[in-house]
Structure 1
Amino acid sequence: MGYKAALILGLLPQLLSAAIVCDMSAAASKGDTCESFVKAWGTTVEEFEALNPGVSCPSLTEGRKYCVIGTVTGGPDPTSTTTTTLKTTTKATTTTSSSKYEPTQPGVPANCDKFHLVASGDQCDTIEAKYGITDAQFKAWNPDVDEGCTNLWLNYYVCVHVPEATTTPSVPDPTPTPPAPQPQMPGVVSNCKKFHKVKAGDNCYSIDTAAGITLDQFRSWNTQIDAGCTNLWVNYYVCIGV
């Protein structure tokens, strides 16, 4: 015990002179130890202790947040700088240090300048469509997202833009076609675009003349109208244009 206290006192000036910039922290779960915690984050106990001065390994406090990605600079020699960087995966990836967008999914590039907070129901294609980016761009900026997009983390930020990246404007939803007027005469063609409501006194000739169409056209668009045009129904719609 006396030796440990002496060791801590001996290291105190070095710890006080060191500068720690924590980019990401995570809470310890019940039963976590320093060894099990750093194994999950792909680092070492030594790096973990450097980012969390005062931690009492091997035990961790359940629910307490510990720094898992960050940088330690400084030391007893003012002319030298020591940097320790922890990674969340075995890939050579980095993460943004912007506190405004935390936590981020592992692998987000340091130069990311636009983020999206993953919400329930989000998929890669819906995120990509929202920001006008391609699947290749999204996967390049979020390399830890798998090919099938099955590992998006809810309430974590993903990258949706980096400087000088080319994006395409999202395509607006097409304007829905208004429903055809009703009621219609039987036999009106399904692709009819223009209608006329039959009124008292109408006949095929008057309708065709007003619409600028021929009788053959009129009867081809209203297939149940007889050759003598004797069965027009008042207050029903007929087709006068496709």
Structure 2
Amino acid sequence: MTMAASAYARATSFLPANCARTYTVRSGDFCEAISASQHVSTFQLANVNKGIIDVGCDNLFAGEVLCLGITGQDCQTVHVVQGGETCDSIAANAGINEALLAANNPNIDKNCDNLGSGEVLCTAWSLFV
């Protein structure tokens, strides 16, 4: 096995067995940028990489391989939150209702007042896309 193949095998050994797609971290990457560029919600990225990404998402390193979604539960229809947006406006623009937006993004609190600019939300009709 080559050194590169060995490093990749080590890097992917902590990923879920049913990982649908992966991303290799580059220098300077941060979770919201990865989420936006790879069409994965911020919640999904953190949730499928529990034990790999810490709460602040400040422990990423170049060459690390992350899982972007689980087979059968990989939301790739996303929206990047802009300043001043609300759950109501995001849901309306996506053609979904607020209940579905909340179900797809359990990190949104009940009053939808914890949205952050740059956060990436799943806006699919169904989480199972």
TM-score (norm. length: structure 1) = 0.27
Higher helix proportion, which one? 2
